[in-house]
Structure 1
Amino acid sequence: MNPLHKNILKKLAVISISSTIFLTGTTAYIAPSVEAASSSRDRVISIGNQYLGTPYKFGAQFGVTSRFDCSSFTKWVYSRVGKTLKRASKDQARQGYFVPRSQLVKGDLVFFTTSSRSGISHVGIYAGNSRVLHTYGAGGVKYSSMKSGWWNSHYVTARRVL
């Protein structure tokens, strides 16, 4: 296809989308996707809550729900809402898009370093109110505060996948 035809098709697509938005109204057109994302975020937290107290086991196999490591937990929970995540936390940190810490919303993935190195080695689910739903060490799946202390000082980044 020559560049002139591509340009004409792009303009027709813009006109078509603009007409659809104008005829349906922007609120009716945009609201369903915003509502669906919010619902998915709440559902992720609800699903994660079902596993509170489930033991932590480094290297836990995906799909086994009697024990989790951090990334098998996030991969499992997100799979329940139809979102496929990679297996390792460092790979999950490359999915979705970057979110500044000041703009976190429920359901965002939050990443930490658990060693003296600066690389990502832990992932959890942001649950609102500066809390992370995750699994690590004693107690298994639990909530931890990101406001101060260890998790605050080991925070690396966040990604939005919903």
Structure 2
Amino acid sequence: MTPYYQSEERRAALLQEARSWLGTPFRENCALKGPQGGVSCERFQAAVHTATGACPPIELPVLPVEAVRHWHEHHPESLILAWLQLPEVRSRICRLDEAEAPAIGDLAVLEFARTAHHLGLWCGHEILHVAIPAGVVAHSTRDARLRATIRCFYRIHEP
């Protein structure tokens, strides 16, 4: 399978699009860019990868606020991993082997509390993700605490 973000042009477009979301606040079930908008972690991923042409628009289920904010505190099942298994998502991604290094554009699955309940976008020297309540932020990939939460990576490939 050929990675979608293999070319320099596609990686540059991804980084430009992802960084244009910085400062967008967190809001459940939303993907509206900018300080007056809001976005959740899975909708951030879907919006960025749709805008860059990596995947077609995806209809995501609307989740109760409690599920978005607190699911990981009380459930061992991962809503994020379930989302990654949706047929329209699963058909375009593959999970990386543990020994395989992440590349720009890869999805980082992060674990908090009891389960993998968060997604970040690997951008080389930083991970962009949606934090509560800050919204879309960038963290260094050298941050040991952040790296300790990464459970696995998924890569988007050509159709």
TM-score (norm 1): 0.65
8 Å Cα contact 2:18-2:48 kept in structure 1: yes
1:100 and 1:136 mapped to 2: Cα distance? 27
Conserved 8 A contact 2:17-2:52: no
| Matched letter for residue 60 of structure 1 | N
CA–CA distance in 2 between the matches of 1:161 and 1:42?
A: 16
Distance 2:96 2:52 in 1: 20
**Which of the numbers 58, 80, 87 marks the counterpart of 1:89?**
80
Q: Which has the higher strand share?
A: 2
Determine whether 1:67 maps to 2:46: no
- CA 1:98–1:36: 2 relative to 1, 3 Å: closer
Describe how 1:99-114 pairs up with structure 2 within 5 A. 99-100=96-97, 102-114=100-112
**For 2:12, which of 22, 39, 42 is the aligned residue?**
42
List gaps (5 residues or longer) in structure 2: 61-78
Give the alignment's Cα RMSD to 1 decimal: 2.5
Identity across aligned pairs (percent)?
18
Q: Of Structure 1 and Structure 2, which has the larger fraction of its residues in helix?
A: 1
- The 5 A counterparts of 1:132-151 are 132-151=127-146
Q: In the aligned structure 1, how far is the partner of 2:15 from the partner of 2:146? A: 19
State the alpha-carbon separation in 2 of the partners of residues 72 and 159 from structure 1.
Answer: 16
Q: CA deviation at 1:60?
A: 2.7
Runs of 4+ that moved beyond 6 A: 33-36
What amino acid maps onto 1:64 in structure 2?
Answer: L
**Where does residue 78 of structure 1 map in the other structure?**
49
What secondary structure does 2:108 align onto? Answer: strand
SS of equivalent residue, structure 2 residue 109: strand
Query: Hey, what's the Cα distance between the residues in 2 that align with 1:36 and 1:97?
Result: 13
The correspondence of residues 16-35 of structure 1 with structure 2, limited to 5 A, is none
Give 5+ residue unaligned stretches, structure 1: 1-32
Q: Bigger CA drift: 46-55 or 139-148?
A: 139-148
Q: 1: CA distance between counterparts of 2:145 and 2:154? A: 20
Counterpart contact for 1:132–1:145, Cα < 8 Å:
yes
Deviation of 1:146 after TM superposition, in Å, equals 3.3
* AA at the equivalent of 2:121: I
Query: Which has the greater radius of gyration?
Result: 1
Whether the 8 Å CA contact 1:42–1:106 is kept in 2: the answer is no
Question: 2:131 & 2:44 partners in 1: Cα distance?
Answer: 10
